[in-house]
Amino acid sequence: MSGLVALTGREIKKWYKNPFVLFISLIQPIIWMGLFGKAMDLSALAGGSAAGLAAFKNTFGVSDYFSFMAVGMLAFVVLFATMFSGMSIVWDRRLGFLNKVLSTPASRGSIIMSKVFIAVIRALVQAGIVLIAAVVLGLRFGANFTPLTLLATFAALFLMSIGLSALFVAIAIRSTKWETQMAIMNLLNLPLLFASNALFPTALMPTWLQDVAKFNPVTYGVDAAREFILLDTINWTNVTNDFLFLGTFAIVFAAIGIVLSWRYLSK
């Protein structure tokens, strides 16, 4: 236990000692919001007619595309922040730090979980900053928005980031090449983002893609966040589903990560 605290403490120190990295990782989602969200205002396609806008609101749930995609960007930052958990374990291996830790009594699981926790902390802090930026850029809250639903949003993002970072750590657990890890990240990030409701409603996607999106945790995280932040009436059945899926996802992958660490962290 003291090992887990110490290793997570190390990661937090490394993080705040390099504020530049935080700054860089925030620029990308904010640029996406500013350019993509504002430029491609899909609600403009409705042509300004009342019927068109109603149809837009019917599929997107909100009447402006910017708010819709800005909440999607919360999932985007979570996705990117958690991907680096895998990179960081590869670095620890390459620099010999991992071997050093493996020779101490620190439990193998705590090595994995410290990577998961720092990814979660970074993901949530970055999501918070991006949400503030979105509000500044014109995000419109739903009628039901309260501090409590904000908290619930972050609870959903928390579960999503636990599962995702455990997944990426598990992929990287034996890797010695950060290039491989980088390639895997590039391979996964856009499909995970586009095969979800983050930027576009799944209802308008071809059915095969809808089926993929159904297994994509990003879909559930974004859905919960939209319900809590944007919608005027919260659909509690949807929200319960979202939390069930995300909770299971988090528990299963954290467990897989820990079991793999016992077996595969050392060769």
Give the interface with other proteins as residue ranges (CB under 8 A). 2-3, 5-7, 9-10, 13-14, 17-18, 94-97, 99-106, 266-267
Q: How far is the CB of 9 from other proteins (least distance, A)?
A: 8
Q: How far is the CB of 7 from other proteins (least distance, A)?
A: 8
Q: How far is the CB of 264 from other proteins (least distance, A)?
A: 11
Q: How far is the CB of 213 from other proteins (least distance, A)?
A: 39
Of 15 and 154, nearer to other proteins (C-beta) is 15
What is the DSSP annotation of the chain? -HHHHHHHHHHHHHHHT-HHHHHHHHHHHHHIIIIIIHHT-GGGGGTT-HHHHHHHHHHHSSS-HHHHHHHHHHHHHHHHHHHHHHHHHHHHHHTTHHHHHHTSS--HHHHHHHHHHHHHHHHHHHHHHHHHHHHHHT----TT--HHHHHHHHHHHHHHHHHHHHHHHHHHTT---HHHHHHHHHHHHHHHHHTTTSSS-GGGS-HHHHHHHHT-HHHHHHHHHHHHHT-SS--HHHHHHHHHHHHHHHHHHHHHHHHHHHHHS--
What is d(CA 134, CA 132) in angstroms, rounded to the nearest whole number?
5
Of 178 and 228, nearer to other proteins (C-beta) is 178
Q: How far is the CB of 131 from other proteins (least distance, A)?
A: 28
Of 20 and 208, nearer to other proteins (C-beta) is 20
Of 3 and 86, nearer to other proteins (C-beta) is 3
Q: How far is the CB of 185 from other proteins (least distance, A)?
A: 20
Answer yes or no: are the C-beta atoms of 115 and 165 closer than 8 Å: yes
Q: How far is the CB of 265 from other proteins (least distance, A)?
A: 10
Residue with tokens 């609600």: 43
Of 106 and 121, nearer to other proteins (C-beta) is 106
Of 103 and 207, nearer to other proteins (C-beta) is 103
Residue with tokens 């068109």: 52
Tokens of 120: 């979660």
Tell me the backbone φ, ψ of residue 130, rounded to 5 degrees: -65, -35
Of 181 and 216, nearer to other proteins (C-beta) is 181
